[in-house]
A and B are shown apart, each in its own frame.
Chain A
Amino acid sequence: MTEPFIEIKQVHKWFGENHVLQGIDLEVHEHEVVCLIGPSGCGKSTLLRCINALEPIQEGSIRVDGEQASGRGVDVNWLRQDVGIVFQSYNLFPHMTVLRNITLAPIKALGLSKSEATDRAMTLLKRIGLDNKANDYPDRLSGGQQQRVAIARALAMRPRVMLLDEITSALDPELVHEVLNMVRELAADGMTMLLATHEMGFAKEVSSRVCFLYQGKVEEIAEPQEIFSSPKSAHTQRFLKSIIEAGRL
């Protein structure tokens, strides 16, 4: 087995008194797609934000591609060039056109020329069929289109791993599939991904492994077939049962 691309060891995180992550261990290998599932507040989003160093951790360590990615002395701007993250609420910049949204970071952080960055952005936009929206402002786009632009914006940095934080949770049901299709394509291209999601059917289909988080701990981690058909932990069973009863699996 090769070295894991992301290596999370005994990570603890507190928000004040609130012990959000209680000793998480997780490894993600290159070209793997790992889905984080679990009830709200179990720490899925927090974990993703910690890997991107948007949140500091108090104990444990996170390594990305063998490099330390947590604690002091980490060049976070450099780390983030390798680790792309997409948020539930898109977080596009409303005062910039779609094109500017995508080219800003490659120009400012990677030092690309304007024409190189534009080429890169237009190629991405063409691939997702939004090249005709390049000069529109985000507010003019549907939620699904905005989220795809947000993914393209992260991809423009050519990251080696993508963290997707419940990227379809804010979308109307009929717009979910266009975003999921984009993620499917990324998975097929071999992109390493770690994603928090409530779309169980999608998690089952796309992931190499599924990780069930419960109260800040990794409760169970297994291949999708196994975890969805014969979950071992009682918490996992209860969680999946409630999902099935809600008609979401």
Chain B
Amino acid sequence: MVPSSTRTAPHFSSNRVKSIIGVFAALGIESLLIYALHQYWSTVGLLDTARAVALGLLIAIGLFGMSGCWYASRALIHAQRADKQWRAGHHQAARIDAEESRTHLASLAGIGLAILIVVFLLLFTSANGGKIRQVFLNGDFLSRSRPALLRGFWLNIKIFVTAQVLVTIWALLVAIVRQLPGRGAAPVRLLAVIYSDVFRGVPAVIVIYAVVLGFPLAGVPPFADMQDKDLQRFWLAVLALVLVYGAYVSEVYRAGIESIHWSQTAGARSLGLSQWQTYRHVIVPQAVRRILPPLLNDFIALQKDTALVSFAGLVDIVGQSNLLKNRFFNLTPVFGAALLFLAVTIPFTRFLDYLIRRDQARTQAG
């Protein structure tokens, strides 16, 4: 019953040819890097102290690039040895050396790719005698625009935090309504479906126009009665973002709730917990844990979309950077605005990743 073996003769490749190509590639990439570093250096116009720092950095990058050559030479040495071992009949030792050689070559490929990207960035920012850096990242303009940018960004943060809290509650409500059983709930279920379809389908900026500009024109209470116009626009902007993001986030919640196996409901209900208690203590807490990553995505998007309120005349960070841009005739303030967003979103992302990992470590078997 057991078929006879049809294995082929053992195959061996020492990786030598690839290693030789690797050495040439490494040398080529390194010279490209040195060229790009030189280009960059010749276009920086900095003060003496800053020059020293910049020079040190550039040299460090150049030295880092050297490691590509090191990996290439290691790959070649191992390949040579593998060949020798194979000829001597030490097949296992030969394969080990060939594998080492391939590993080093893989490292070279990784470093080489990284260097090529750095080369591109260096050449790009040195183009036109370094004018690009002047337009995007002018240190002088950056420090002069900082107070106004921070003032604008504070408004973004206020809008974001308020909207996020409201979205969290509102979206859960919509998601639960969509899950309500029974014929009596059919009309509200339908409304919830229509709501999330409509507000996911309409561009956020249109909703913002409609709410922030349209509501005061139409005298919609209670916003029309607000005396403080800034406060009025603030709440209208929050409302617009909650409407848009509530639709997205409710779908995320729904997916999370549906992903919890019915046996959890059976377990909870069988103990005499009511439908509501089951939702509150068993289903929703598990669903929220499961959807944290996509929820986080939507919150980062929300954070960025607070920038859209500038279209409706709120002077947020984009509004401020726009004014500054026109004053300086330079895009550095806009770039500064981008940096400020990053300064908030990246730590926020890392922190939530940490929370997710910690929760998993606690509840899941090692």
Contact = CB atoms under 8 A, between A and B. Distances in A.
Interface stretch (B219-227, B246-254, B268-276): B268-276
A78 B263 contact: no
B282 interface: yes
Given A108-B277, A109-B277, A140-B365, A91 B272 contact: no
A89 B271 contact: no
B282 A157 contact: no
Contacts of B270: 52, 54, 80, 84-85, 87, 154
A137 B272 contact: no
Interface in A61-119: 76-78, 80-81, 84-85, 87, 89, 91-95, 104-105, 108-110
B281 interface: yes
A209 interface: no
Contact of A139 (B272, B289, B364): B364
Nearest to B286: A95
Contacts of B282: 93
A77 B268 CA distance: 11
Given A89-B263, A91-B266, A109 B286 contact: no
A143 B26 CA distance: 55
Contacts of A93: 264, 267-268, 281-282, 286
Most chain B beta-carbon contacts within 10 A, residue among A91, A92, A94, A110: A91
Interface string B277-321: 100011001100100000000000000000000000000000000
B153 to A, nearest CB: 36
A153 interface: yes
Contacts of A154: 270-271
Interface string A177-216: 0000000000000000000000000000000000000000
Interface in A38-76: 49, 52, 54, 76
B267 A91 contact: yes
A95 B271 contact: no
A91 B260 CA distance: 11
Interface residues of A, number: 28
A104 B272 contact: no
B271 A105 contact: yes
B363 A137 contact: yes
B362 interface: yes
Contacts of A104: 271, 273, 281
A100 to B, nearest CB: 9
Nearest to A140: B365
B231 to A, nearest CB: 40
Contacts of A54: 266, 269-270
Contacts of B272: 77-78, 80-81, 105, 109-110, 157
A91 B261 CA distance: 9
Interface string B336-366: 0000000000000000000000000011110
Nearest to B285: A95
A108 B286 CA distance: 18
Contact of A80 (B264, B271, B365): B271
10 contacts: A54-B266, A80-B269, A81-B272, A87-B267, A91-B263, A91-B267, A104-B271, A104-B273, A105-B271, A154-B271
Interface of B: 263-264, 266-274, 277, 281-282, 285-286, 289, 362-365
Interface of A: 49, 52, 54, 76-78, 80-81, 84-85, 87, 89, 91-95, 104-105, 108-110, 137, 139-140, 153-154, 157
